[in-house]
A = this chain, B = another copy of it.
Amino acid sequence: MYRIAVLPGDGIGKEVTKGAVKVLQAIGDRFGHTFHFSYGLIGGEAIDREGTPLPEQTLQMCKQSDAVLLGAVGGPKWDSHPPHVRPEKGLLQIRKEMNLFANIRPVTFYSSLSASSPLKSHVIEGADFVIVRELVGGLYFGKPSERRVEKGEETVVDTLFYKRAEIERIITFAFTLAQKRKKKVTSVDKANVLESSRMWREVAEQVAKRFPDVQLEHMLVDNAAMQLVRSPKQFDVIVTENMFGDILSDEASMLTGSLGMLPSASLSVDGPALYEPIHGSAPDIAGQNKANPLATILSAAMMLRLSFGLTEEADVIERAVKQVLDAGYRTADIAQQGDCVLSTTEMVEKVKDAI
């Protein structure tokens, strides 16, 4: 039995996690696994009901699970709240509390969706890389992060902080991943400006010695932002600091024209991992049965593979998604003129049928 903590969150989070749960149940039926789902509050709804974006009960439930499936958090309703009672804070806290140090975002190009991409097809066709983002350190969590009055002037400070061991951990992770893929690591930093990046580069060089079969390349973050648009096919595994990773992975997610398609995993050293679509809570279409459930379904596939070692089951989901797309089925976000547009629940049914 696999215990899955489900945190639907806000907006379309509810609809897409519901879809993924149905798909997991279909997998359970076909392969004879029992998935046990327990539900918890996070984000805006947790604020409304419990006064905090990550209730202790939710956290305990997640820690005691085998894996966590998250929808999305946030919405305009909570935008004017003070920082510590905003939905996003729940996400930042759960990452920190569960020590989810490695955020993995595969960027896969679906040729059937090439019309939706803003990039020319010769640029994007065949691109297949993974961004590994450090998720519990860097500019996100360094202290101080505060306002100060200095000599009568109002000032503000944020801090980019790393322990060497934290840098080593994420870079080692990236190399291990690259070994199973195309054997190339692009370490992204700003070593011509930041001291933390100079340490990052040093550590990358050191770690590389332990992986003689993997090629290491350093790239400045500004150049990486260019190269992602210019020739995304050059990449295999990109590894970078938390904030750089936030920016570059969102940029990268746009390349394929299928933001609603991209899954992610956030892994810890030894506790349960968390899986979530990379898109947000999309308040504008929430509750309308319009959202694309595929990113969450593909996140569930990552869960099967990475947390439970159920490789075949994961493959079945991924192939089902591809098959459904190849057959021309689309939700509104990836539809082109003339396409027949499915609702969230219809899309979930198509994937279940293909399993």
The answer to whether B156 touches A159, judged by C-beta atoms less than 8 angstroms apart, is: no
22 inter-chain pairs at a CB distance below 8 angstroms, sorted by A residue, are A83-B195, A117-B120, A118-B120, A118-B123, A118-B231, A120-B120, A139-B160, A154-B164, A155-B163, A156-B161, A157-B160, A157-B195, A158-B195, A221-B247, A222-B250, A223-B250, A225-B247, A225-B251, A225-B254, A226-B253, A229-B251, A244-B247
> CB-CB contacts of A155-191 with B at 8 A, as 1s and 0s?
1111111111100000000000000000000000010
- Stoichiometry (number of copies): 2
Q: Which B residues are in CB contact (< 8 Å) with A230?
A: 118, 254
**Cβ of A56 to closest chain B Cβ, rounded Å:** 22
Instruction: Known pairs A92-B193, A221-B247, A229-B255; list 12 more (Cβ under 8 Å).
Output: A118-B119, A119-B119, A140-B193, A147-B195, A147-B199, A153-B163, A157-B160, A158-B196, A190-B243, A193-B243, A225-B254, A229-B254
**C-alpha spacing A95/B117, complex, angstroms:** 38
Using CB atoms and an 8 Å cutoff, list the residues of chain A in contact with chain B. 83, 86, 88, 92, 117-120, 123, 139-140, 142, 145-147, 153-165, 190, 192-196, 198-199, 221-223, 225-226, 228-231, 243-244, 246-251, 253-255, 259
Q: Which B residues are in CB contact (< 8 Å) with A146?
A: 195
**C-alpha spacing A250/B220, complex, angstroms:** 11
Q: Which B residues are in CB contact (< 8 Å) with A193?
A: 88, 92, 139-140, 243
**C-alpha spacing A123/B120, complex, angstroms:** 10
**C-alpha spacing A52/B218, complex, angstroms:** 25
